[in-house]
Structure 1
Amino acid sequence: MRLMPVAALALGCLAAAPAAQRYSLQSDASDVSAKVAFFGLASKTAKFPKVSGTALLPAGDPSGMSLEVTLDARALEAPDKVTLSRLRGPKFFWVEKYPTVQFSGKGMAMTDERNGRVSGNLTARGITKPVTLDVAFDTPPSKARAGEALALTARTTIDRRDFGMTSYSLIVGRKVDIRIRTRMTPG
């Protein structure tokens, strides 16, 4: 009988714990780009207009965040037809064989109220490598209200050679700056 009040208190605490909020990326409010040096003097930027994904943000605990982002590599856009053909071809993204690029992140370390780092894995061309996204929120996630959308910008730099994209090394830089801007809505 003595355990009943303790069990009731424990269950009450569990019931009062705020649930994690699930978010969906709004494709029409998202912009993903990859920028690389070209001939050492200029740069070229490719865009991924078809993006989908979800985030799970435990209330009051951003360290438990998970983030899944999928890019449709077949929809990749480039500044000219030659670049587009090469990027979609077997020397770069090889979209016929690998139609998506994916990021899967678990956990976020906040560096201040609006900024954090999400560690995870990036998969391109069937190759998975660890990457860290530097994330900046428009509204601090700790202050986000239930039902409120979140907007964020995430950045990382990768070495394209790590993903089997080794062609044109004298023309195309090896470091690729990736930027994700998105708005996520609850649900």
Structure 2
Amino acid sequence: MSFDRVFAKAPVMAILRGMPLARSVELADRAWDLGIECVEVPVQDEEAAAVLAAVVAAGAERGKPVGAGTVTTAERLAWAVSAGAAFTVAPGLDTEVARASLAAGLPHLPGVATATDVQTARAMGLDWLKAFPASVLGPDWFRAMRGPVPEVPFVATGGIDASNAAAYLAAGAKVVAVGSALEDPGQLRALAALLAP
């Protein structure tokens, strides 16, 4: 599994953070039905790790990739591996966690916010990077980064919803990741509209 493949069909990722197991599976199914292929479940505690495992199982039935988010420690990486996650995501760039994830066979998507972060991550062989927090960085950050590193695909994460996602994609983000906005039941459908040709 590579991020090129994970994000090949749609420029939107749904982040199911802090939701009960049944609700998480329900939202994942709805996202997949709407053409949003990629789902992330943050694993900030053991309960969330169980939710991840359930969503991974649901995704496996449909051939959909599910990643583990907020993987910032060896313990959380172990939960991700145990649950069968397809990839890991982190809010920042921790080289030890990134290397351990790659060693476990899981592509890692680290958070970056500076050119130094980008260069460090790329030097480690990390191809896709998560720009976080995107709402603080703003669309101009993506335009600026296209100058020195046009080859780097960024996932805009943090403060993204259906009202501003298109602006980030237009500015150069390859994918937008939407989390807390999914509490609004209309968000998934509105985000799916971005997939229309």
What is the TM-score of this pair, normalised by structure 2?
0.22
Say which structure is richer in helix: 2
Q: Which has the larger radius of gyration?
A: 1
